[in-house]
Chains A and B, each alone.
Chain A
Amino acid sequence: MSYIKSYIENLNKNNKKALSVFLTSGFPDKENFISIAKNILDAGADMLELGIPFSDPLADGPVIQASSKIALDNGVNINTVLSYAESLAKYTNKPIILMGYANPIKKYGVKNFLNDAGSLGIKGLIVPDVPLEEYDSFFENMNGNLDIILLTTPTSSNERIKSIDNTSKGFVYCVSVTGITGIKNNFDSDSIKNLERSYSIIEKNKMLIGFGISKPENVKEFIPYCDGVIVGSRIIKSFFDKDKLPDTLQIVSKLNEACRF
């Protein structure tokens, strides 16, 4: 079984939904990134998603866009991200996942990237601009050690969600809203209904909900409809707000508590 899937399953067995934290690699700065990431793991992140900064992140809202820009200005590239991921994979048994747009990966060489990432202990990869339609031509049926994680959204039909569930490995990333990444204050009843719909269709994989989640209350609300949640912009924003690590770690730890059921 997929390492990520069994890791999430173990958490679930112990009455805990998985908390996956997204960090833009090399943000807020290149030198302290590893130590910040380790602190976030220790504060209660069950999984880490390391974003590969890209010049044109079209699925991202202003917060992650700004963090990507700073990371790129800090000189972070795909090799830096791989080396961060390698160090973190040595530090923890928690799954380390990469999230990046198609072009930097294509430029690196898709096959080499999957092989290199797999051999460094990275467990999964999310590429938001490679949907099911382009899966075969982008990944060319390459089977590395890496789980390729696909996304569903409120606009995905039931039939599509089934196909995505069949192809995705590790988990299915269920996008909570039609939109880009960013903090949302609350989720309307349509969003909740949609999560319920997706969760009832997805059978093969675990399902994690992402986009817009910022508060323990959001997590509590989602607990019946998922196996875990993904938080990104809220964490990134905390560095812009105060640049004090203790505040960020407190957010992580509260979200972690909210994941218990």
Chain B
Amino acid sequence: MLDNYLFPDVKGKFGIYGGKYVPETLISALIELESVYNVLKNDCEFISEYNLLQKEYNGRPTPLTFAERLTSYYGKAKIYLKREDLCHTGAHKLNNAIGQILLAKRLGKKRIIAETGAGQHGVAVATVCAKFGLQCIVYMGETDIERQKMNVFRMKLLGAEVRPVSSGSKTLKDATNEAIRDWVTNVEDTYYIIGSVVGPHPYPLIVRDFQSIIGIETKEQIMAAENKLPDYILACVGGGSNSIGIFYPFINDENVSLIGIEAAGFGIDTEKHCATLTLGEPGIFQGMNSYLLQDDNGNITEVYSISAGLDYPGVGPEHSHLKDTGRVKYFYVSDDEALKGVRLLTSLEGILPALESAHAVAYLEKMMPSTNKDEIVIVNISGRGDKDLSTIISRINGEIK
């Protein structure tokens, strides 16, 4: 049924989603990027450079860890964890930054810009810019700068300029607007490293391809460990790059259930959430047609999650397509449930997940009772939780004796 999954199409569409909804100024840059990428993705030299960096700089392959005590805790299906938390810089974000910095080099661009929410993508971009000696400017909302001080300092230490964004809600979406405005102005010499599978074509394709290394490794590793494919794969979804990265290589494997978990914040019956696929509707935002949290007049609504990396009112267009076709099922988990997920994984496995990844972990609570002992569940641990300790302390300190 899914043997012919060939998205995006030549127009950059995943079904009706995706596209290039950007000002005319950027079209020539997007066309150039697309044509260069289409050549390089089959270029042996480019691929080996990418693979070498993934191995020797990023520390790949990341392990697939059998979660023995977590498995016993539920007493149902076997649970494995894909360990993107062990990537250099602490999350899957570097997989993409490595790929795109190589593209920027091939395009001859000397100036790199990026947007960041929690700071993980900003850190990943600042890291590869330091490694390759390129100028790096990271746009970050003032609200995020305030709540992610460590990452701001870290980016500066890496030599990046962090430009505060004071427009709108002063978070990720506004940082993205500002990065796009910079790109429109400096398109001749600037490469924009988008951090997720969002934005205009070909970015959702490029970021998916660079993140697919997660799923490709997972498939090999689970075959080696169990000699069969998993029954379920769980991943959190904000913009959706870690989830597409692990899902995509399994998309034609119909018997593997793919499950994306959105952030419900204080609950989907409140205004404080960012469950875009659960509660949004299709719209046009930041270059793409995709599900979107918007008001009755088509303005983008302010969103919330305890996890800054999921705090985005849009979602990658491929997820919108996968939702509509039913290939991926999307559910949601609240702040409180995610915090329980943090404690569960940390205390049973000695792995402190990022708050983002904890949303996927927390869904086990809902899902595991209906699984069987002969089944296999894989959870993508997209990042480590060190960056979140101050948030976690402020929310659960009183509960820890």
B19 close to A103 (CB less than 8 A): no
A59-88 interface bits toward B, Cβ cutoff 8 Å, 1 = contact, 0 = none? 101000100010010000110000000000
B15-43 residues with Cβ-Cβ distance < 8 A to A are: 16, 19-29
Contacts of A154 in B (CB 8 A): 25
Tally of contact residues, B, Cβ under 8 A = 38
- Name B19's closest neighbour in chain A (CB-CB): A134
List residues of A whose CB falls within 8 A of some B CB: 54-59, 61, 65, 69, 72, 77-78, 101-108, 128-134, 137-138, 150-157, 160, 164, 175, 178-180
Return the contact of B188 from the options A106, A157, A160, A178 (Cβ within 8 A).
A178
B25 close to A155 (CB less than 8 A): yes
What total count of A-B pairs have CB within 8 Å?
119
A54 close to B181 (CB less than 8 A): no
CB distance from B113 to the nearest CB of A (A): 14
A180 close to B181 (CB less than 8 A): yes
A-B contact pairs, 6 of them (CB 8 A): A54-B298, A56-B173, A107-B296, A129-B22, A164-B24, A178-B184
Most B CB within 10 A of own CB, among A61, A107, A137: A107
B299 close to A175 (CB less than 8 A): no
CB distance from A125 to the nearest CB of B (A): 15
A131 close to B298 (CB less than 8 A): no
Given contacts A103-B292, A131-B20, contact A55 B300 (CB under 8 A): yes
For the complex, what is the distance from the CA of A175 to the CA of B187, rounded to whole Å? Answer: 15
Q: Which of B90-98, B264-272, B281-289, B374-382 contacts A (4 or more CB under 8 A)?
A: B281-289
Q: Please list the 10 inter-chain residue pairs (A to B) with the smallest Cβ-Cβ separation, ordered nearest first.
A: A107-B298, A104-B298, A55-B299, A179-B185, A102-B284, A77-B297, A153-B25, A155-B28, A103-B298, A59-B23
**B11 at the binding interface (Cβ < 8 Å):** yes
Contacts of A138 in B (CB 8 A): 284
For the complex, what is the distance from the CA of A138 to the CA of B181, rounded to whole Å? Answer: 23
Contacts of A55 in B (CB 8 A): 168, 299-300
B23 close to A131 (CB less than 8 A): yes
- Name A65's closest neighbour in chain B (CB-CB): B167
List residues of B whose CB falls within 8 A of some A CB: 11, 13, 16, 19-29, 167-168, 173-174, 177, 180-181, 184-188, 283-287, 292, 294, 296-300
A106 close to B20 (CB less than 8 A): no
Return the contact of A152 from the options B24, B184, B284, B296 (Cβ within 8 A).
B24
CB distance from A54 to the nearest CB of B (A): 6
Contacts of A137 in B (CB 8 A): 13, 16, 19
Most A CB within 10 A of own CB, among B11, B23, B286: B23
For the complex, what is the distance from the CA of A178 to the CA of B13, rounded to whole Å? Answer: 26
- Name A104's closest neighbour in chain B (CB-CB): B298
A156 close to B19 (CB less than 8 A): no
Contacts of B177 in A (CB 8 A): 56-58
Return the contact of A130 from the options B16, B21, B181 (Cβ within 8 A).
B21
For the complex, what is the distance from the CA of A94 to the CA of B244, rounded to whole Å? Answer: 51
Contacts of A54 in B (CB 8 A): 298-299
